[in-house]
Amino acid sequence: MKAITITEPGGPEVLTWTTVPDPVPGPGEVLIDVVASAVNRADLLQRQGFYDPPPGASPYPGLECSGHVAALGEGAVGWEIGQPVCALLSGGGYAEKVNVPAELVLPVPEGVSVAEAAALPEATATVWSNIFMGGGNATSSNVFMIAHLRPGETLLAHGGASGIGTMAIQLAKSVGARVAVTAGGPEKLARCAELGADILIDYREQDFVDELRKATDGAGADVILDIVGAKYLDRNVKALAVNGRLAVIGMQGGVKGELNLGALLVKRAAITATSLRGRPLGEKASIVAAVREHVWPLIGAGQVRPIVDRTFPMSDAAQAHRALEAGEHIGKILLTRP
């Protein structure tokens, strides 16, 4: 088969479409004949040499894919040869075939093409596991895992026009939350509004703390989903409501910041930080199962949909990385098989 390999750490030019050995599914694994994959920030970091795959994972980039079941390893149950699926990966999505534990495979949801489904696993699993996952159904008040967002509360999603942000807007609205977003420029904010965002903040021109306080009568955000990290830490704490919860899922703005514990204490607030790729299989399997139970029906009902900005041939992954780095996209960038 062919796959995108990383010849050495560096810029997009180190991504090479080359012939590699065909994967063979091991016990409990599903071999997927890939139709599409999606480009994530983690792929850029891996290309630059800053984010190695976990032990045992494919060395090729790509944290999600869609396609058809090509083969089943011993003990892999619940799937049929030829079935259209998508999957959460630890690596290997930028390839013609990839092995994945059967527990991390999802059916292509109703109303979504096989290629579009590649935009779903990473974003839905990340958003749901941080602020939406839990028992009950998607309209109950007890459906949240880490940040425990509840109907009627306010969510602030940084990077509202990103793949994560566009999914967070839709899922939060589906459970009756009020949504504030930060994004760069009127075009991106307009798209966020189309998806249901209530409070639109241009981070290039406005201070999100001031704007959020104005829009919430001084209360702030009950939950903040943050992809920036250290650069926003102090202001995120200021933007939190009493009993607020800050979920940090990215470090685009650095890894070290100063935290005012007094401000956190006065607000009785909490901060969590999580990643998805390196979690144990059992934890990821629980997240994928919850996504299938709670999010897939919303997609089937048309309440939530993947937002795809543009598509590149998989062999042109370098250009797709340049597009993501330019930051002009809205939603996800996909790679499709030649």
CATH number of the domain that 116 lies in?
A: 3.90.180.10
Domain presence at residue 21: yes
CA angle (50, 52, 54) in 5-degree steps: 145
For residue 255, give Cα distances in angstroms to 33, 66, 129, 147, 203: 37, 32, 22, 21, 20
Q: Is 297 inside a domain boundary?
A: no
Residue 196 and residue 60 in one domain: no
User: Are residues 154 and 219 in contact, defined by beta-carbon separation less than 8 angstroms?
Assistant: yes
Residues 139 and 112 grouped into a single domain: no
Claim to verify: residue 259 and residue 144 sit in the same structural domain? yes
Decide if 213 contacts 244 (C-beta within 8 A). Answer: no
The two three-digit tokens of residue 106, written as one number: 């999802």
Tens of pLDDT, residue by residue, the chain (338 residues): 999 999 999 999 999 999 999 999 999 999 999 999 999 999 999 999 999 999 999 999 999 999 999 999 999 999 999 999 999 999 999 999 999 999 999 999 999 999 999 999 999 999 999 986 543 333 333 333 467 899 999 999 999 999 999 999 999 999 999 999 999 999 999 999 999 999 999 999 999 999 999 999 999 999 999 999 999 999 999 999 999 999 999 989 998 989 999 999 999 999 999 999 999 999 999 999 999 999 999 999 999 999 999 999 999 999 999 999 999 999 999 999 97
Residues 146 and 54 in one domain: no
CA 168 to CA 64: how far, in whole Å? 18
* 208 within some domain: yes
Which domain, by its residues, includes 154? 124-273
Helix or strand holding residue 137 (H, E): none
Same domain, 96 and 133: no
Same domain assignment for residues 107 and 232: no
* 291 assigned to some structural domain: no
Closest CA relative to residue 20, chosen from 39, 36, 4, 43: 4
The DSSP line for 81-107 is: TT-EEEEE-SS--SBSEEEEEGGGEEE
Task: Identify whether residues 168 and 241 lie together within a single domain.
Answer: yes
Report pTM: 0.94
Which of these three, 224, 257, 273, is where a domain ends? 273
Domain presence at residue 282 = no
